[in-house]
Structure formats: structure tokens, C-alpha cells
């Protein structure tokens, strides 16, 4: 019995990050000016724009992106990104028979 393996590699086409300062700032201190790196890291790790916004491409860009094989936008906690396949490898092997 032959074993077939297909692997597809993807490349990120683009990524959009939606960082809303209202949620990231520390009172009157703008997020970029927060001195404590641990506080900044924690704010980014707990920030999820999907609780605030729903991002959908307009019809024409959506058709262009989804027209690519494997090209689908993906929601992320800080925005969205899209990918397309770049490599395809195919391997067919047959187990050795031991008599």
C-alpha cells in the first residue's frame, strides 16, 4: 500500500493590526509612553479587538482574496491577516516488503 503526503506552505500576504488607544492607554499616559515593559506586554496579551469590532473585507477585495487558492482572511486578537499558498510538495512512498 502506498502512502501519499501532500504539504502546502503558505506565505502571509499582509497583516493589519488594530490597536485602539482607548483600551491600551493607562489613563493620561499614552500606551507608547508606558515605561514598564511588563505592563505594556500584559495589555497587548489581554487586548482582543474582536470584542469591539468585526472586520469584513468589502465584496470586491473579498473575491480577490478568496479567489487565490487558500487565500482566506483570518481574524486575530489584534486585527486580521491573509495568506496564500507558496509551496506544494507531493511524496508517494511504498513500504519495503520484508520476506
pTM of the full predicted structure?
0.54
* pLDDT of 20 above 80: yes
Model pLDDT, residue 52: 80
Percent of all residues in the chain with a pLDDT value above 70, rounded to a whole number: 82
**What is the average per-residue pLDDT within 54-74?**
71
Model pLDDT, residue 8: 76
Burial state string for 57-75 with b = 16 or more CB within 10 A and e = fewer than 16: eeeeeeeebeeeeeeebee
Amino acid at each position: 500500500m502506498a502512502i501519499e503526503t501532500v504539504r502546502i506552505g503558505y506565505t502571509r500576504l499582509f497583516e493589519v493590526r488594530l490597536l485602539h488607544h482607548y483600551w491600551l492607554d493607562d489613563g493620561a499616559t499614552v500606551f507608547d509612553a508606558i515605561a514598564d515593559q511588563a505592563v505594556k506586554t500584559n495589555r497587548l496579551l489581554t487586548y482582543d479587538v474582536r470584542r469591539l469590532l468585526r472586520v469584513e473585507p468589502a465584496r470586491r477585495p473579498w473575491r480577490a482574496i478568496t479567489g487565490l487558492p487558500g487565500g482566506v482572511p483570518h481574524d486575530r486578537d489584534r486585527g486580521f491577516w491573509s495568506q496564500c499558498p507558496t509551496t506544494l510538495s507531493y511524496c508517494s512512498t511504498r513500504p519495503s516488503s520484508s520476506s
